[in-house]
């Protein structure tokens, strides 16, 4: 019997921190605000670590109910929490990376106004994110799901003095809500067909069902609707448009929410629902195709961006595409593996980029950087590790997780693999482009770049004021998290070294109880005769020895692709720096299209947003409300008034007129009687 | 053994109005204090009802019944009969709470004709409470009309520039509906006499006979549907459902803040309450008639989406909130015509939620209006710099209104949509865009009013909320959190009356419904209906 773990404390701790800072933070000194925020976030991390240390002794999956929440008829939802291997990984990533980013933010935000507000929101975000990963039913997950959206809205709009930031926050929330449309309908379908939203009963109801290989049915519908929600939260085609704009927020927010944690919620949700997805092959295909396309599409935009954070934003979309690809080929543990390593290296890259921006006084345009290697050595070295890690060069973390995904993708279809490989090449290219532009060559920023921020609100995104003399390294409170994340980005992949490279793939084994427990039920009970085994059986778990050589060859190919990207970036941005402009000039139309992000935002505005607004104003409001309904009413009112007005004139007070009316009335009565008499005959 | 708690709750505001009559109108401070004391007293006397009601929540039927049928005007069968069930209990508590908040919020907003203002407001309060308590249709109708006059005057005297147009539009719209309703009730009254041989307006008596009209060979489905339509029109105007909603934006824009709070918070609920209390139990077979139900659902969904879309483009804050009410009330009627447990419980809960959230939204608009005397969104911007506490409370209430989990709006909307989904998934799917759009119009409004720098110099010196203003918001914020976090007691209170209603409407082995048979309306009956 597992003791009560009181998991609910983990989300509650950051909520207490958020409440203290939110209510009283205005009166606190900055160290006190930081102290409160770090204490409660750190306590959540410590408690999560304690649970991790006892994990092997627990009966897994573990669940607990804190209180009843909603009830309507026989359907009931509780505030309940759930712990298994998958939520433990998420828990550690969220609290660990979150805590590091909290520390970093103390330094990064030190000079900003609204310090207490920032940390209150940041803690609030932790609360909702932890609800999301610990919830024991879809509705508690949905609390977190909406709540992280809210925290993201508040944090993107943190610089609410800037219109662009406020607009970006709103756009993120609304686009996410469009995704939630699908999520909600999926929930209602589950309630209707399974009578519950708790993970265990839902999955137990689903487990005996056979895969919907022939015709799409209930499970396919649920899976696709969940995918709509996931696409909104995790910035996949066609709902990715909010994420690049979200870069308006402070850089630690980009690192925490828009790289390491919140945007991976969709991947977590699909992995959590793998029992449903495994039985809906069509939905899996959709997930894989969307993931693959997003990975490639975002990567191509990434190579043209000049804003350092925008490059990382598109890179995040692209990497999330990899995770969806992995989910789509039912390689859920590979997706979670990449989710974890991505949290390390992308968190690191954003924080390092923040340190760069901090160093050059608020400049985010890479064309105005360059030569920063010597000036900010800590940032340089940590960012180098992050770049190598994301590029997929061994033995750093990104190599193992990406290679795992590509290998699984190949087993599903060589098309996925090829596009994934091209994306890997592009990833390496745009990341080293960023690296060369930022750190090598000569410093291209104008000297007044360091003081211009004081007078333009657009540069308010980074601390300034005390830092206006020259490029400088960040304080230790920012360096330490960078170093820790750099170490994790270096070694983080080693827990998942595949068999082909002499490892044991411990990560996959650790998650196996979550992802493989359901598969046997599928086989034993319902695999139809003559049907080939579903792909998930081949893709995870121990692999056949014969494929080992093939797998090594593929590993080699992806390493070569990464190195080619590095080489091309060196050629274009270090060896022949004038070449990129010539290429851009040659491919003018294509280049402009990609630079403008394929005009997707403009197309959405022209096709969806503007017509909707125009219809609302002109057709519904001015048209129906004013010109049809009200006009009809006012006309009938006018008609009634005219009628009464004309009747009113009978009462003129004029004796002769009255006499005339009497005579007319008498005449009418006589005529009527005559007519009656005529008719009677 | 009768308890008189309902009568006490009902007439406390009216006593206040009578006391005010004797205060000289120059003595504004005294008038304000007395009005507020009686408004608070109205809330306080209703609080003992909470534990009393909780103890008997599971008992079927009406509780705390006072009076017996026909005791008032025996010759025509009118009675002073009061009684409540879980549905009216919640609406009464909402009314006493919002009544107190509205009167408190008027302290500085009303400067001319103070005495009349408070008198009419307290009379209105009694009228609204009476509507929710009456168990006799005659009594109900008295209160229903009695509350129309004070509201008309509140808009017409203390309203904005187009107040007369708005007030008359409000009055005529509502009156038109109630006249038809009165005719329908007279039909039921005489039908009851023919069936039982007694003249009575007792609602419980009419419950027994009115459903029979549908199956009565002398009248049949056509009559029943026409009678239902007469009721439905009165209530649809009040809710308001599309396309009878156009009085609402005008009335809200012109009404003083407290009037808007009461109008949105309580008066609109008269419509939904009327559907639940009268239209459904009087005509269960009509409500379940696929065509009638289809129309009601369709109008609800149109209202949801239409209201949200039109809200999006408003330039006047109050008009925006008014149109958002059309959208939110669409959810309430959608839940009602889902005609199942979750739909109806969610609907009543959402009516309470709407009273809390939208009441707060009108207060929020009123705060700015009182300081700047304009509601043009374009006049504002960057308000969170000068009024941070106000901005925070606004954010919480916006989130509640747009249905963020852990706040009240989510619980109601989710339950309604779940109930609707059980009936027909398409209905729910069509309604959900309303949720998406709610986020759009509210966040866009928030962005334009609160974010950015203060561009308009007139806004630089605005002062943040006063303690009195904060006091008006506090109970609303607490209620929003309570319902969001722990709605269970509310569902328990609603369970008994809702189940009873669902059973009435969907009698499990009831008689064959006429439209279930192929020849559902015979030519003779159809002819008789013309």
User: Is pLDDT above 60 for B508?
Assistant: no
Q: Which tokens sit at A390?
A: 């994301």
Using omega within 30 degrees of 0 as the cis cutoff, is the peptide bond preceding A479 cis? no
To the nearest 10°, report the CA torsion of A45, A46, A52, A54: -160
Q: Does A181 sit within 8 Å of B491, measured CB to CB? A: no
Pair B88, B25: CB distance under 8 Å: no
Contact A148, B414 (CB under 8 A): no
Query: Contacts of residue B409 in chain A, CB cutoff 8 Å?
Result: none
pLDDT at A342 over 60: yes
* Contact flag B425-A170 (C-beta cutoff 8 Å): no
Whether the pLDDT of residue A529 is over 90: the answer is: no
- Judge whether residue B525 has pLDDT over 70: no
In this prediction, residue B346 carries a pLDDT of 93
Q: Is the pLDDT of residue B334 over 50?
A: yes
Instruction: Give the residues across from A131 on adjacent strands.
Output: none
**Which of A173, A189, A612 minimises the CB distance to B443?**
A173
Nearest to B341 among A73, A146, A191 (CB): A73
B405/A142 CB distance under 8 A? yes
- Residues A53-81 have a mean pLDDT of 83
Closest-CA distance of chain A to residue B15, Å:
38
CA A310 to chain centre: 15
Q: Search chain A and give the residue with CA nearest B340.
A: A73
Lowest mean pLDDT across A117-126, B147-156, B503-512: B503-512
A161 touching B (Cβ < 8 Å): yes
3-state DSSP helix/strand/coil % of chain B, to nearest 5: 75, 5, 20
pTM of the model: 0.87
Q: Binning pLDDT at 50, 70 and 90, where does residue A40 land? A: very high
Buried b (16+ CB within 10 A) or exposed e, A388-401: bbbbbbbebbbbbb
Residue in chain A nearest B249 by alpha carbon: A625
Q: Which of residues 472-511 of B touch A (CB under 8 A)?
A: 485-488, 491
User: A161 to chain B: which residues are within 8 Å by CB?
Assistant: 382, 385, 451-453
B517 near A CB under 8 A = no
Residue A67, strand partner residues: A79
Chain B residues touching residue A184 (CB < 8 angstroms): 414, 417, 432, 435
Q: Please tell me the distance from the alpha carbon of residue A500 to that of residue A394, in angstroms, as a whole number.
A: 14
| The two three-digit tokens of residue B87, written as one number | 């549905």
Q: What is the ipTM of this complex?
A: 0.85
Q: What is the pLDDT of residue A2?
A: 62
pLDDT at residue A449 greater than cutoff 50? no
- Report the DSSP pairing between strands B63-66 and B82-84: antiparallel
State the DSSP string of A515-581.
Answer: HTSHHHHHHHHHPPTTPPPPTHHHHSSS--TTHHHHHHHHHHHHHHHHHHHHHHHHIIIIISTTHHH
What phi, psi does A364 have (nearest 5°)? Answer: -115, -5
Please indicate if any CB of chain B lies within 8 Å of the CB of A41.
no
Model pLDDT, residue A466: 42
Whether A71 contacts chain B with CB within 8 A:
yes
Asked if B452's CB is within 8 angstroms of A161's CB, the reply is: yes
Q: What distance in Å separates residue A240's CA from the closest CA in chain B? A: 17
CB contact under 8 Å between B447 and A71, yes or no, is no
Start-to-end C-alpha separation, chain B:
49
Q: Do B340 and A180 touch (CB under 8 A)?
A: no
Q: What is the pLDDT of residue A369?
A: 82
Averaged pLDDT, B255-265: 90
Give residue B173's pLDDT.
86
Report the chain B residue with the minimal C-alpha distance to residue A175: B436
Mean pLDDT of A46-57: 88
Q: Output the pLDDT for position B140.
A: 92
Give the CA distances from residue B390 to residues A155, B269, B372, B423, in Å, rounded to whole numbers and listed in that order: 19, 27, 15, 41
- Pairing status of strand A62-72 against strand B82-84: unpaired
Partner B contacted by A631 (CB < 8 A):
no
Q: Is A178 on the interface with B (CB under 8 A)?
A: yes
Q: What is the DSSP letter of B210?
A: G
- pLDDT confidence band for A573 (50 / 70 / 90): confident
Optimal mutation site among A24, A27, A73, interface B, most CBs of chain B within 10 A: A73
The closest CB to that of A166, out of B385, B406, B451, belongs to B451
* Distance in angstroms (rounded) separating the CA atoms of residues B443 and A243: 18
Considering only residues A498 and A299, tell me which one the structure prediction assigns the higher pLDDT: A299
Spatial distance between the Cα atoms of A489 and B367, rounded to a whole number of angstroms = 52
Contact assignment for A185 to B439 by CB distance below 8 Å: no
Q: Cα(A444)–Cα(A441) distance, rounded to whole angstroms?
A: 9
Task: Say what the pLDDT of residue A446 is.
Answer: 67
Are B418 and A624 an interchain contact pair (Cβ–Cβ within 8 Å)? no
Q: Residue A209: phi, psi to the nearest 5?
A: -75, 145
A455 Cβ under 8 Å from any chain B Cβ:
no
Closest Cα of chain A to B138: distance in Å?
A: 30
Q: Which chain A residues have a beta carbon less than 8 Å from that of B425?
A: 185, 188-189, 192
Cα-Cα-Cα-Cα dihedral of B106, B111, B117, B118, to 10°?
50
DSSP bridge pairs for A72: A75
């Amino acid at each position: 019997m597992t003791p009560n773990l009181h998991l609910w404390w983990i989300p509650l701790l950051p909520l207490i921190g958020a409440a203290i800072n939110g209510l009283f933070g205005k009166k606190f000194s900055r160290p006190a605000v930081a102290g409160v925020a770090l204490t409660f976030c750190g306590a959540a991390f410590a408690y999560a670590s304690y649970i991790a240390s006892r994990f092997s002794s627990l009966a897994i999956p573990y669940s607990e109910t804190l209180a009843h929440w909603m009830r309507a008829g026989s359907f009931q939802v509780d505030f309940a929490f759930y712990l298994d291997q998958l939520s433990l990984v998420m828990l550690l990533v969220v609290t660990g990376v979150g805590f590091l980013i909290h520390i970093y933010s103390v330094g990064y935000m030190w000079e900003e106004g609204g310090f207490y507000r920032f940390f209150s929101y940041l803690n609030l975000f932790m609360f909702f994110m932890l609800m999301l990963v610990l919830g024991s039913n879809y509705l508690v997950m949905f609390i977190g799901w909406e709540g992280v959206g809210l925290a993201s809205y508040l944090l993107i709009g943190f610089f609410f003095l800037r219109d662009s930031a406020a607009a970006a926050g709103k756009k993120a929330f609304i686009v996410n809500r469009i995704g939630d449309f699908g999520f909600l309908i999926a929930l209602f379908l589950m309630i209707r067909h399974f009578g519950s939203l708790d993970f265990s009963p839902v999955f137990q109801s689903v487990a005996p069902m056979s895969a919907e290989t022939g015709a799409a049915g209930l499970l396919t519908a649920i899976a696709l609707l969940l995918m709509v929600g996931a696409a909104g939260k995790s910035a996949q085609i066609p709902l990715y448009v909010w994420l690049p704009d979200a870069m308006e927020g402070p850089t630690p927010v980009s690192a925490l929410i828009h790289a390491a944690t919140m945007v991976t919620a969709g991947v977590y949700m699909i992995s959590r629902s793998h029992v449903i997805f495994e039985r809906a092959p069509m939905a899996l295909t959709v997930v894989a195709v969307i993931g693959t396309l997003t990975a490639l599409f975002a990567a191509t935009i990434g190579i043209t961006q000049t804003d350092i954070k925008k490059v990382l934003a598109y890179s995040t979309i692209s990497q999330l595409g990899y995770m969806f690809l992995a989910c789509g080929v039912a390689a859920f543990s590979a997706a979670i593996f990449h989710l974890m390593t991505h949290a390390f290296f992308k968190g690191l890259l954003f924080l390092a980029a923040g340190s760069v921006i901090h160093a050059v006084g608020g400049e985010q345009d890479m064309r105005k950087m360059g030569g920063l290697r010597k000036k900010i050595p800590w940032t340089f070295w940590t960012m180098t590790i992050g770049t190598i890690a994301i590029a997929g060069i061994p033995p750093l973390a990104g190599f193992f997780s990406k290679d795992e995904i590509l290998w699984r993708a190949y087993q599903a279809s060589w098309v996925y693999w090829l596009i994934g490989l091209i994306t890997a090449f592009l990833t390496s290219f745009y990341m080293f482009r960023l690296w060369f532009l930022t750190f090598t060559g000569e410093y291209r920023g104008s000297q007044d770049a360091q003081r211009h921020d004081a007078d333009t609100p657009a540069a308010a995104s980074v601390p300034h004021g005390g830092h206006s003399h020259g490029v400088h390294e960040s304080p230790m409170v920012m360096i330490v998290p960078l170093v820790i994340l750099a170490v994790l980005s270096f070694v983080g992949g080693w827990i998942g070294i595949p068999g082909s490279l002499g490892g044991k793939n411990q990560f996959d084994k650790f998650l196996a109880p979550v992802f493989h427990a359901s598969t046997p039920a599928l086989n034993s009970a319902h695999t139809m005769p003559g049907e080939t085994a579903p792909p998930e059986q081949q893709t995870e778990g121990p692999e056949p020895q014969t494929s080992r050589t093939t797998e090594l060859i593929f590993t080699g190919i992806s390493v070569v692709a990464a190195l080619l990207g590095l080489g091309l970036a060196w050629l274009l941005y270090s060896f022949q720096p004038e070449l990129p402009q010539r290429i851009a000039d040659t491919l003018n139309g294509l280049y402009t299209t990609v630079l403008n992000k394929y005009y997707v935002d403009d197309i959405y505005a022209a096709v969806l947003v503007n017509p909707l607004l125009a219809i609302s104003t002109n057709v519904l409001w001015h048209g129906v409300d004013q010109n049809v309904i009200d006009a009809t009413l006012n006309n009938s009112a006018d008609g009634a008034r005219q009628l009464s007005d004309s009747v009113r004139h009978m009462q003129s007070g004029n004796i002769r007129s009255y006499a005339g009316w009497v005579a007319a009335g008498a005449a009418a009565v006589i005529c009527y009687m005559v007519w009656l008499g005529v008719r009677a005959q | 053994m009768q308890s008189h708690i309902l009568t006490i709750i009902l007439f406390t505001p009216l006593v206040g109005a009578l006391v005010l009559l004797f205060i000289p109108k120059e003595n504004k401070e005294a008038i304000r204090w007395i009005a507020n004391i009686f408004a608070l007293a109205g809330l306080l006397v209703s609080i003992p009802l909470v534990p009393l009601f909780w103890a008997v929540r599971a008992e079927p039927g009406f509780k705390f019944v006072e009076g017996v049928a026909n005791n008032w005007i025996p010759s025509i069968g009118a009675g002073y009969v009061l009684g409540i069930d879980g549905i009216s209990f919640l609406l009464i508590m909402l009314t006493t709470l919002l009544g107190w908040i509205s009167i408190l919020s008027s302290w500085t907003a009303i400067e001319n004709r103070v005495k009349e203002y408070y008198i009419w407001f307290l009379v209105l309060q009694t009228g609204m409470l009476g509507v929710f308590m009456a168990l006799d249709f005659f009594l109900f109708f008295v209160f229903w009309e009695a509350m129309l006059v004070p509201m008309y005057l509140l808009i017409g005297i203390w309203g904005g520039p187009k107040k007369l147009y708005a007030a008359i539009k409000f009055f005529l719209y509502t009156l038109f509906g109630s006249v038809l309703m009165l005719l329908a009730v007279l039909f039921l009254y005489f039908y009851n006499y023919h069936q039982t041989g007694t003249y009575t307006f007792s609602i419980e008596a009419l419950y027994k006979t009115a459903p029979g009209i549908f199956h009565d060979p002398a009248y049949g489905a056509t009559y029943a549907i026409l009678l239902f339509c007469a009721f439905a029109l009165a209530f649809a105007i009040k809710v308001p459902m599309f396309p009878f909603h156009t009085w609402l934006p005008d009335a809200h824009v012109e009404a003083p803040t407290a009037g808007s709070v009461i109008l949105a918070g309580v008066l609109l609920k008269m419509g939904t309450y009327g559907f639940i209390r009268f239209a459904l139990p009087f005509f269960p077979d009509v409500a379940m008639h696929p065509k009638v139900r289809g129309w009601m659902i369709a109008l609800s969904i149109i209202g949801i989406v239409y209201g949200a879309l039109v809200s999006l483009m408003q330039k006047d804050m109050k008009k925006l909130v008014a149109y958002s009410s059309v959208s939110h009330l669409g959810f309430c009627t959608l839940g009602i015509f889902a005609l199942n447990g979750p739909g109806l419980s969610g609907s009543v809960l959402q009516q309470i939620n709407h009273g809390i959230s939208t009441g707060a939204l009108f207060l929020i608009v009123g705060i700015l209006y009182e300081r700047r005397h304009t509601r043009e969104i374009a006049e504002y911007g960057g308000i969170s710099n000068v009024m941070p506490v106000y901005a925070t409370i606004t954010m919480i209430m916006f989130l509640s209104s747009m249905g963020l989990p852990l706040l009240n709006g989510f619980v109601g909307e989710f339950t309604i949509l779940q109930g609707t989904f059980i009936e027909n998934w398409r209905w729910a799917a069509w309604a959900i865009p309303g949720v998406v759009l709610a986020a759009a119009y509210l966040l866009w409004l928030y962005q334009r009013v609160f974010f950015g720098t203060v561009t308009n110099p007139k806004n630089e010196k605005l002062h943040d909320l006063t303690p009195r203003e904060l006091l008006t918001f506090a109970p609303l914020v607490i209620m929003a959190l309570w319902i969001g976090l722990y709605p269970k007691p509310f569902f328990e209170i609603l369970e008994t009356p809702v189940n009873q209603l669902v059973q009435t409407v969907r009698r499990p082995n009831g008689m064959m419904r006429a439209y279930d048979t192929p020849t559902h309306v015979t030519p003779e009956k159809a002819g008789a209906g013309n």
